[in-house]
Amino acid sequence: MDQVRYPILTEKTIRLLEKNQYSFDVNVGSNKTEIKKWIELFFGVEIIAINSHRLPGKRGGMDRTSGRTDRYKRVIVRLKPGYSIPLFSDK
């Protein structure tokens, strides 16, 4: 559960849901095989492909101390037909 931070819901990722593709932010140190095993185990789905890319950290601070937020990795997971991941809980 530590590998995947949270699902991403933007206009683009909502369009990808129609193609049975889901987007998640994950830890930078994790690789595709770890993410695939974790998602298949946790959600009980089968994955066809995973695409990943690292996004740069954002600049922050307007005072004397300026810095950057942590970098993170985003993955797009394509599932086999007939599988889905519930993004919203029913509770």
Burial 63-76, CB ≥16 within 10 A → b, else e: eeeeeeeeeebbbb
pLDDT in tens, 58-69: 777 666 667 777
Please say whether the dihedral angle defined by the alpha carbons of residues 47, 38, 35 and 16, taken in this order, is positive or negative. Answer: positive
Domain residue ranges in the chain: 4-57+70-79
For residues 22 and 77, the answer to whether their CB atoms sit within 8 Å is yes
pLDDT-based confidence at residue 1 (cuts at 50, 70, 90): low
4-57+70-79 CATH choice from 3.30.70.330, 1.10.1760.20, 3.40.50.620, 3.30.70.360: 3.30.70.330
Residue-averaged pLDDT of the chain = 84
Query: Quick check: 31 pLDDT over 70?
Result: yes
| pLDDT score, position 3 | 74
Q: What is the pTM of this model?
A: 0.79
